[in-house]
Amino acid sequence: MAKSTEKQSDDREALKSALKTERDTDLRLALADLHPADIADVLESIPLDQREKVFAQIDNALIGEVLVEVSEGVRLNLLENLDSQSLIAAAKTLDTDDVADLIPDLPDEVIAEMLFAMDKQDRLRLDSVLSYPEDTAGGLMNVDTITVRNNITLEVVHRYLRRRGELPENTNKLFVVDRDDSLLGTILIGDLLVNDPESRVSERMDAEPVSFEAMTSAREVAAAFERYNLVSAPVVDDKGKLIGRITVDDVVDVILEEAEHSVLAPAGLKEDEDLFAPVRSSIRSRAVWLGVNLVTAVIASWVIGLFEDTLRSVIALAVLMPIVASMGGNAGTQTLTVVIRGLALGVITDSNARRVLIKELLISVMNSMIWAVAVAIIAIIWYRMPGLGLVIALAMSVNLLVAALAGVSIPIVVRKIGIDPALASGVMLTTITDVVGFFVFLGLASLILI
Amino acid sequence: MAKSTEKQSDDREALKSALKTERDTDLRLALADLHPADIADVLESIPLDQREKVFAQIDNALIGEVLVEVSEGVRLNLLENLDSQSLIAAAKTLDTDDVADLIPDLPDEVIAEMLFAMDKQDRLRLDSVLSYPEDTAGGLMNVDTITVRNNITLEVVHRYLRRRGELPENTNKLFVVDRDDSLLGTILIGDLLVNDPESRVSERMDAEPVSFEAMTSAREVAAAFERYNLVSAPVVDDKGKLIGRITVDDVVDVILEEAEHSVLAPAGLKEDEDLFAPVRSSIRSRAVWLGVNLVTAVIASWVIGLFEDTLRSVIALAVLMPIVASMGGNAGTQTLTVVIRGLALGVITDSNARRVLIKELLISVMNSMIWAVAVAIIAIIWYRMPGLGLVIALAMSVNLLVAALAGVSIPIVVRKIGIDPALASGVMLTTITDVVGFFVFLGLASLILI
């Protein structure tokens, strides 16, 4: 019978209840039913002491895969409990690209021992993956390509595959190369099945497959996989030689990591935050973020401080001023979010950025017209001062315009100078909308009301 | 030669420059080189008038696929320029699951005509996809499964496939069913190639494949594809009968949509926002969001208004009060982001929520100890009032604690009552941290300083 997703989540629950009985045999029994990814999942959601217990009972053959599947924070935590012998054994069960992913988290002496224990071919393969940065096609690739020549018949390919035995995971195509390993094309394994066995590879292959140069960014690779619905694709070096292949499962991981980053970075959080790590490891990054925010808040307060006399004579200004700053911050964050997204997806380019700016400015003018009037009415009813209504309406309109301008330009500029827009833009924007909001509101009040 | 990603982006640029020459022949020439997904991409990033021009020159055979690839906002805009005859023709070029995706955006009379123009089998298939909500396995599935029986030999399967001809896109496995269409297992097409042709399907099939019931949520489907590195998977009805299959390309789209949602929702934005749509269509949703924010800002102002006398006698309070609110808002947003993420990934559950809360409270206590002191020092140096330093340090500590409490509990509670945490939590959190920040700071000041 088929195994539905409900069944799988039952298995995970079974493991969690086995944890409660505190008996190792129960644990081992519950683990036996689980895929490494499921074990990884359970490890992510249980506290440290239980995590060690579960990890100690995992079958040696699965440890490598479990390490690959957990998030970086949890992995670092698990590696502390593993001696180098077990690590080397675990690495042997893995594909080259997965070993390459683990390497940055391993202590140097383990890496050395691991390389020493490998056979020459595996070491060369690992070397070629490691020679490219992690976030490039070369860093993502695996080296388990199956290559064929273009002048043989499908029948011959079929016989070769049968002699070779099991295919690597996610093999949906073979790679056609010449004697120098230059990529000539790809052929779907489905095409081997449905076409005349006497026809030649050259007649059936796709001579213009989507391929990636090793230094292509992981982000571009992911976009191409999504766009062209790929399952696997060849990676070539700068001379067009086949050096590996990328499979969709690794691309899905890239997409999820990017998604994670785009949600966490605006709050100053890192992807490797382990929910159950000791508190101390979370404190530093959080504290730094609050420190940056404190600096911007103090700048805003300093601006308010310039107008102490004005505030003293019209205390209503102190009551209403947060409204102006907050509306600017919110409107600006909307623009910012749209623009950061557009940049990440490549929809916003230098050539159309002006158009986006004009649109956002138009939206902010329209929104000003609606909400500045509303705010003015609230202020007038509350304090019975028509002048105050005028001041807050004007200040809010100016701040919404500035917010739109900042929301479009900050991410574009920040990206140009090589800073991650998702991380830095939000803080910069709210600093601007706070400062401008307070300054214009209190400044206009000094001119008009006093 | 292989076609690298650089080449593809050149093709897209060629189309954009063809647009500038204003000649239809140039346009058609540039379009001929492009994959429907590339055309969709270009359409997303050009303004409305150019979009119409390009769309008019697209080959009829590709219109359907282009419509599927563009985002919803752009699609609605393109559909306005298409008569129902062309639409029906375009639909005929598509897979059932893609037609099902288009249907919600089509006018009723076109849907009726389209169904009428289909043959009976296609209509039945479309019906079965449409009978499930879009965000379930049933809504995601395609009905182009290839099924085989378990008692035949691989050789027979091979002959069957060869007679059948080309396989549907992303076919990496065949589905093994009994005479009632109950799913018995799956067999990889790679396994057909490498195993003894005389062996039987039953010996080579995976008898416990990951499968989905039609009503399983798209989110769970995506998680399982990621976890088990799937390329395709069967969908069964509540009796275990095979009704379709889900392929990884559709799952990638689900993951990207979820990522989009988790970035856009906290800023009150919708996924269908078309960057080049007329301004008017963006205004309404943006205005509503600012309206909600205005209400919360007014509530915060009302709290400040309770302390007008206090503010009048110590004007420094007006200058410093935004710091307390802003630090609370930022700390709370960090907690909130971690918790929303943990809930979405299923890492935070009812059983460990208390642990997460305790951890976040601990972090906020530690951060209070660092930054409350810093703020107190700033206040004392600025205004030479030790009492003011004490008040702001206490108020900030209380507000950071409340922020951690709110950051953990708001998304959990909001989700329990069926509201999307990504959309609503942020506004609720900042309302609480503003109100508590102002109230505690000004309240303590009234008690201690006056």
Task: Tell me the pLDDT tens digit for each residue of A233-244.
Answer: 999 999 999 999
- A residues 135-154 closer than 8 Å to B (CB): none
Mean pLDDT of the region B280-285: 80
- Say yes or no: B275 contacts chain A, CB-CB below 8 A: yes
A355-383 residue pLDDT tens: 889 999 999 999 999 999 999 999 999 99
Residue of B nearest to A302 (CA): B319
Residues of chain B with CATH 1.25.60.10: 11-134
A279-319 residue pLDDT tens: 777 788 889 999 999 999 999 999 999 999 999 999 999 99
A76-90 residue pLDDT tens: 888 887 888 888 888
Q: Which residue has the higher pLDDT, A29 or A256?
A: A256
A61-76 residue pLDDT tens: 888 889 888 887 888 8
User: What pLDDT does residue A218 have?
Assistant: 93
Sequence-ordered alpha helix ranges (H) in A93-179? 96-102, 108-117, 120-130, 137-140, 154-164
User: What pLDDT does residue A6 have?
Assistant: 58
Does residue B438 have a pLDDT over 70?
yes
**Residue B394 and residue B360 in contact, taking contact as beta carbons nearer than 8 Å:** no
Does residue A175 have a pLDDT over 70?
yes
**pTM reported for the whole predicted model:** 0.83
3-state secondary structure of A183: strand
Q: Which residue has the higher pLDDT, A266 or A442?
A: A442
% of chain B residues with pLDDT over 70:
96
Q: Mean pLDDT lowest for which of A3-12, B272-281, B288-297?
A: A3-12
Region at A94 (left for phi over 0; alpha for psi -120 to 50; beta for the rest): beta
Whether A325 sits inside 8 A of B320 (CB atoms) is no
Residue type for B246, please? I
A5-140 CATH pick, 1.25.60.10, 1.10.10.10, 3.40.1030.10, 2.30.30.40: 1.25.60.10
Mean pLDDT of the region B420-433: 94
- Cβ-in-10-Å burial (0-12, 13-18, 19+) of B417 comes to exposed
Mean pLDDT of the region B395-419: 96
Tell me how far CA of residue B15 lies from CA of A52, A224, B40, B52, B68, in angstroms: 57, 18, 12, 14, 20
**Residue B30 and residue B14 in contact, taking contact as beta carbons nearer than 8 Å:** yes
Q: Mean pLDDT lowest for which of A101-115, B259-273, B303-317?
A: A101-115
pLDDT band at A272 (very low <50, low <70, confident <90, very high): low
User: B11-134 is classed in which CATH architecture?
Assistant: Alpha Horseshoe (1.25)
Residues of B in Cβ contact (< 8 Å) with A166: 190, 194
Residues of A in Cβ contact (< 8 Å) with B231: 170, 172, 231, 248
In CATH terms, the fold of domain A279-448 is Tetracycline Repressor; domain 2 (1.10.357)
Does residue A2 have a pLDDT over 50?
no
Q: Mean pLDDT lowest for which of A270-279, A290-299, B262-271?
A: A270-279
Helices B218-228, A5-21: crossing angle, 10 deg rounding? 70
Q: Mean pLDDT lowest for which of A8-17, A402-411, B208-217?
A: A8-17
pLDDT band at B8 (very low <50, low <70, confident <90, very high): low
**Residue B137 and residue B235 in contact, taking contact as beta carbons nearer than 8 Å:** yes
DSSP string for A292-338: HHHHHHHHHHHHHHTTHHHHHH-THHHHHHHHHHHHHHHHHHHHHHH
Does residue B235 have a pLDDT over 80?
yes
Q: Which residue has the higher pLDDT, A346 or A214?
A: A214
Residues of chain B with CATH 3.10.580.10: 147-248
Whether B225 sits inside 8 A of A264 (CB atoms) is no
Angle at CA of residue A175, ends B65 and A141, nearest 5°: 85
User: What pLDDT does residue A52 have?
Assistant: 84
A304, HSE (Cβ side, Cα atoms, 13 Å): 29
A147-265 CATH pick, 3.40.47.10, 3.40.50.10540, 3.30.110.30, 3.10.580.10: 3.10.580.10
Q: Which residues pair with B188 in a beta bridge?
A: B173
Whether B171 sits inside 8 A of A190 (CB atoms) is yes
% of chain A residues with pLDDT over 90:
54
In CATH terms, the fold of domain B147-248 is CBS-domain (3.10.580)
Whether A170 sits inside 8 A of B371 (CB atoms) is no
Measured CA to CA, the distance from residue A113 to residue B178 in angstroms comes to: 52
B93, HSE (Cβ side, Cα atoms, 13 Å): 15
B341-382 residue pLDDT tens: 888 888 888 888 888 899 999 999 999 999 999 999 999 999
Token reading at A71: 């998030």
User: What pLDDT does residue A165 have?
Assistant: 86
User: What pLDDT does residue B72 have?
Assistant: 79
Angle at CA of residue A371, ends A366 and A375, nearest 5°: 155
**Residue B343 and residue B411 in contact, taking contact as beta carbons nearer than 8 Å:** yes
Average pLDDT, chain B: 89
Residues of chain B with CATH 1.10.357.20: 279-448
Whether A46 sits inside 8 A of B352 (CB atoms) is yes
pLDDT band at A323 (very low <50, low <70, confident <90, very high): very high
- Say yes or no: A359 contacts chain B, CB-CB below 8 A: yes
Beta strands in B298-446 (DSSP E): none
